[in-house]
Amino acid sequence: MSNQAEHPALLIPGPIEFDDAVLQSMGHFSQSHVGPPLVATFGETLSMLRKLFQTSNPASQPFVISGSGTLGWDLVAANLIERGEDALVLHTGYFADSFAECFETYGAKATQLKAPIGDRPQLPEIEKALKEKHYKLISVTHVDTSTGVLSEVKALSELVHRISPETLVVVDGVCSVGCEEICFDEWGIDVVLTASQKAIGCPPGLSILMCSERAMETFKKRKTPPSSYFASFKNWLPIMQNYEAKKASYFATPPTQLINALHTTLTQILSRPLSERFAAHREASRRIKSTVTSYGLKQLATKPENQANGMTAIYLPEGVKAPDILPHILKKGVIFAGGLHKEIAAKYIRFGHMGVSVTDPKRDDIDRALKALKEGLGDAGVKV
C-alpha cells in the first residue's frame, strides 16, 4: 500500500503519479551540490540515462539541467542552429508551434510541415521538403501531448540520413521517453529532449537531453557563440562531463532533491528489461483504447499507427464539452486533462497512462479511471 496521503489519481499526460520511494527521495536531507555523495549520485544518474536512451557511444552526451521540458527547446535552438539557418519542424499539434516559435526567437528560420489534427506528416511529404531546401535540423514531436499522436521516429531518421545526411534529427520526447521505445544509437538520432515529470516518473523540474557525437561536433563548429547564457553547452558541457567522472564542478546550483529522485526512478526503471516496460505500456494502451471505443467515443488519432502508448486524447460526444465532464470524473477520484489544441480545446479530454500507474501491479489507477470515465459520461447525460 502507498504511504501517500489519499488523493485523486492523477491521470493526465504529466505530471504523473509518482512511486513512494521517488517521493521519499525528495525528502533527502540537504546536501552540498559539490560534495562527494551528491556528485556520485549525479554521475550515476547521467550514466543511467545512457541506458534509458539506449546509447553505448561514449561520445554521446547526457545533460540534466534545472528547468522544465521547454528548456530543452532552448538548449537545441541556442546551441545547434545559428541565426539565419533553417529548421524543418514536423507538426502534429500544439508543441510543434511552440518549438517553431523557440527557433525563431533565436533567429533561426522555422518551416512547419503540418498534418490534419490527429495525423502526422507522411514520409513522401517530408522527403519532398528535404529535397527542396537544406535544413540544419529537423524536429519531430515523438508524442504530441496535445493530440496523443505518435510519430514514427525510426523511419523518419532513416529517411533524413538517406536524403539529407547532414541534417540533425531532433526528437522532442517529453511525452515519450520512458513509455515509447527509443533506440538512440541504432536509429541514428542526434538529440532527444525530455522532462522528468512524465513517463520517467520524477517530479517536475528537470530538463533532460541526450545528444549524439554528431550533435556535439556541430556545436563545437559553431561560427557564433551560443545565443543563451544559462542554456549554453559551453557552460554545461564541462559540468556534465565532470559529474559523470565523479568530479565536483560548478556553473549553477542543481536541484539536489530532484537529482536524488531521478536517480531513484531510473534505478527502478532499469531494474527490469526496457522491453518489458514498453510492452506494459502498449498493453495498457490497447486496453484503454478498446474500452474507450466500447463507450462510443473516438480518438483524435484515428489511425492505430498514430496512437501513443502513454496517453489517449478522446473526443467528447456532440454537445458535451470538457468542463461539463471533468468535474464529474474528479468526483469519482480521478483527474483527467482538458484539451490543449487551440482549435478544438473544449471538444476533447486527455487521459495519461504512463509510469507507475501502468507498471505497478499493486495500483488500480487504470481500472479506476476507466470506471470514472464511464460514470462521468453518465452523470453528464451521455448514454454509454
353 in Cβ contact with 310 (< 8 Å): yes
Are the C-beta atoms of 104 and 111 separated by less than 8 Å? no
Quick check: 210 and 65 in contact, CB under 8 A? no
> What whole-number distance in Å separates Cα of residue 113 and Cα of residue 106?
20
Spatial distance between the Cα atoms of 124 and 351, rounded to a whole number of angstroms: 31
Query: What number of residues does the chain have?
Result: 384
* Rounded-to-integer distance, Cα 204 and Cα 190, Å: 24
What is the residue-wise DSSP string for 243-286? HHTT----SS---HHHHHHHHHHHHHHTTS-HHHHHHHHHHHHH
Q: Measured on CA atoms in the order 55, 58, 59, 64, is the torsion positive or negative? A: positive
Contacts of 290 (CB under 8 A, 6+ apart): none
Q: Which three cell numbers stand for residue 71?
A: 528548456
CA–CA dist 249, 131 (Å, integer): 44
What's the sign of the alpha-carbon dihedral 9, 10, 13, 18? negative
Phi then psi dihedrals of residue 63, to 5 deg: -130, 140
- The burial class, CB within 10 Å (0-12 / 13-18 / 19+), for 257 is middle
Give backbone dihedrals phi and psi of 17, rounded to 5 degrees, phi first: -70, 145
Torsion of CA 84, 86, 92, 98, to 10 degrees: -20
Residue 120, marked binder = no
One-letter amino acid at 217 equals E
Q: Which residues are annotated as a binding site for substrate?
A: 350
Q: Which residues are annotated as a binding site?
A: 350
